[in-house]
Structure 1
């Protein structure tokens, strides 16, 4: 079955609703209105909106098929790329990220056309099927390139002058690095959670539905 889409906002709302329904079916105990459920919903919706923007469906595509296709791939990527950790675990990973944010804050806040740059990196991630936590991965990738960029100059101010003259060079490097993530195995996102989360839907997302439950 195929049909024409309504207006853009209505299409997005309809597709998002179908995606959330699909996640509810595929994640054991998923409750979208509880705190950790809302977190999961926010990540999924942002990722889905990025996907629709980057790879819009044709006007005649079936809503359910489009939503199902994305939801299955997103869940697979969550299982592959997201690692849930307790507060005391993997502290070095969080410390490294916090240091990256701090070291790049000056250039980040002054980056020309920042939102457009992040979108381009998001598109690069999606092009290699990195569909989960796309905003976070895009930001981290771009910040990583900014950090490498600033190391070649004596001060943040000098780095900013050069950056403003040719921001596309950094964006191109970030796009290349984003696409290279397809060769990286294992987690890319570490998510710090409360111990109780292990027993909720977020903790159970690694479980695949038993045969016959996805009908």
Structure 2
């Protein structure tokens, strides 16, 4: 599949997803400020498909979807509609929209900042993120999965920083971090409530 064809079909899928969300959400206008919702959903759909198809190349995903669109366009539309409905339910469960930010404890902010710095230097950080995302998808999380994965990993590293002696060198083992995060992911299917807080303009998304 030529790269330009992949880009074109990606745009078609984006439009189809926008239309399905518009069907589910009253007053939704996908090509206004509400556009960001479609961006989030589109990214999550792409992530979900990568996990379910077990591929790393997005071009492979769009090639398969384009083939389905040609052979059975109704099946593609129904599948996207089903996924969009499931995603929206998860959005309402996992995402909270804030009209303004809230202050976190200063020491927590410092630990998170340090955790992110250390993670940047860690080997296999991309692989760690990928397997946490896969674990989330396998457990039924389809909304903001990459955001959730990043937060869980950072929180685990921040916790280890808190436990470490001041001034000590912190060496991260990706397998150890994954094992700890994996336990948290397993619990998510039994828990309800927000995992992601978005600080965006008021009156956007709150009703969704």
Normalised TM-score (structure 2):
0.75
The reply on whether 1:190 has 2:201 as its aligned counterpart is no
Distance 1:23 1:97 in 2: 36
Deviates further, 21-30 or 10-19: 10-19
Match of 1:48?
A: 45
Which runs of 5 or more structure 2 residues have no equivalent in the other structure?
54-60
**1:179 correspondence with 2:186:** yes
Aligned residue pair count: 188
Higher relative contact order (CA 8 A, sep 6+): 1
Once the two structures are superposed, residues 104-150 of structure 1 have per-residue CA deviations (whole angstroms, 9 ceiling, x without a partner) of 12212112122221121111111122211111111000111112233
Instruction: Tell me the TM-score normalized by structure 1.
Output: 0.73
**Aligned partners of 2:112 and 2:155 also within 8 Å:** no
Q: Secondary structure at the match of 1:109?
A: helix
The superposition leaves residues 69-90 of structure 1 with CA deviations (integer Å, 9 ceiling, x where unpaired) of 21011000111122222326xx
Deviations 1:36-78 (A, max 9, x none): 3232122111111111111139886821222122101100011
Q: CA RMSD in A?
A: 2.9
Instruction: Indicate the residue corresponding to 2:91 in structure 1.
Output: 78
Q: Are the aligned partners of 1:104 and 1:143 in contact in 2 as well (CA < 8 Å)?
A: yes
CA distance in 2, matches of 1:94, 1:24: 39
8 Å CA contact 2:111, 2:161 repeated in 1: no
Distance in 1 between residues matched to 2:182 and 2:88, nearest whole Å: 24
Equivalent residue in structure 1 for 2:135, among 109, 124, 137:
124
2:20 aligned partner:
22
Contact 2:111–2:162 (CA under 8 A) maintained in structure 1: no
Q: Is the contact between residue 51 and residue 137 of structure 2 (CA under 8 Å) also seen in structure 1?
A: yes
